[in-house]
Homo-oligomer: A and B are copies of this chain.
Amino acid sequence: MTTLGQLGERNVIARLVDRLGTRSNVVCGPGDDAAVVRITENAGVDLVLTSDAVLENRHFSSGTDPCAIGQKAVARALSDLAAMGSNPQWALIDIVAPATIDIETIENVYEGATGVAAEHGMVIVGGDTTEGSPFGMHVFAAGTVPPNAAIYRSGAKHGHALFVTGTLGGSSLGHHLAFTPRVREGVWLRDWASSMIDLSDGLATDLRHLAEKSDVGFEIVQQRIPISECVQNANDSLAGFMHALKDGEDYELLFTVPGARASAFKSAWEEAFDLGCSQIGVATAKAGYIEIESPVGEVRLLDNQGYEHFTSNQ
């Protein structure tokens, strides 16, 4: 008998995914930020489907503003839709709550949820409320994308430039509750990105997801990583960098652009958005290797565990 805790989330998912079948109307099953399915040949769009859970004492502490809980739950799903380059459309919300919770709290959760949904063009069309504990919610969201226009984790190729939106690190200081999912940017990137993922697990881990699905490596430049102000430390540049690598819940977009278009892309981005976008590295042919160039020009290898520590390959 092996418990879920012993296996770890990654292996649990791998074993479960093996049991799922597929069908001709499934364009992309499990293993990306969302699933992509084909409704009919004439529909003019593919459908992008994702679900996300937000549970008390895991994704938020018990004193958290209910409105922020609703916002976070919906924004996480929106971030998944954004990472596929899809336009958010409809969502269902399942709430599990103890009978002793007051209705105003739940109304505030909904206020937050519907507010952030509406800001990004999505409408909540239903769901379910069940008595239970601890308090939590599951958001199911559907978006649309032109046929074959979804952006997958698997499209990066050797030589493609690697970009990230916004700044990274410090999510635990509050950003994890109040972030803006990069929906407009994700849709716009359909014209540019060869691969894309949203940063939920942290740059180190999500970079590895992109590398594995695309069968490439990445070389990133430490000094180019955009560090959030709240974790910058003038005396210790490594500390801020480690936050950017490990914190998770940044909900920025990490994506590649074919090398020949990288320069045109940068100009187009600056024209389109105020939000920062940094080229932090390049895809390499060394499949699975994530190499990091330090400020003094030393190249180190990010180890296979994802983000625990550096291992020198010199």
Contact = CB atoms under 8 A, between A and B. Distances in A.
B30 A39 contact: no
A255 interface: no
B134 A132 contact: yes
A107 B44 contact: no
Chain A contact residues: helix, strand, loop or mixed? mixed
Contacts of A110: 16, 19-20
A49 interface: yes
A136 interface: yes
A138 B51 contact: yes
Given A35-B92, A40-B43, A123 B55 contact: no
Contact of A103 (B7, B50, B94, B98): B7
Given A20-B123, A39-B43, A43-B43, A3 B55 contact: no
Contacts of A19: 107, 110-111, 114
B123 A132 contact: no
Nearest to A125: B35
A83 B313 CA distance: 61
Nearest to A54: B130
Contacts of A99: 3-5
A196 to B, nearest CB: 17
Interface stretch (A21-29, A154-162, A212-220, A259-267): A21-29
Contacts of A104: 1-2
A35 B106 CA distance: 21
Interface residues of A, number: 72
Given A22-B123, A125-B49, A127-B51, A144 B39 contact: yes
Nearest to A140: B140
A50 B130 contact: no
A308 interface: no
B45 A118 contact: no
Contacts of A3: 99-103
Best-buried of A22, A52, A125 by chain B (most CB within 10 Å): A125
A58 B128 CA distance: 14
B42 A42 contact: yes
A13 interface: yes
Nearest to A9: B129
A53 interface: yes
A97 interface: yes
Given A19-B110, A49-B90, A51-B138, A37 B103 contact: no
A102 to B, nearest CB: 4
B58 A106 contact: no
B4 A131 contact: yes
A292 interface: no
Nearest to A37: B90
A126 B29 contact: yes
5 contacts: A19-B107, A29-B125, A29-B126, A39-B43, A132-B136
Given A12-B103, A58-B130, 7 more contacts: A16-B110, A19-B107, A26-B125, A30-B126, A43-B43, A94-B138, A128-B138
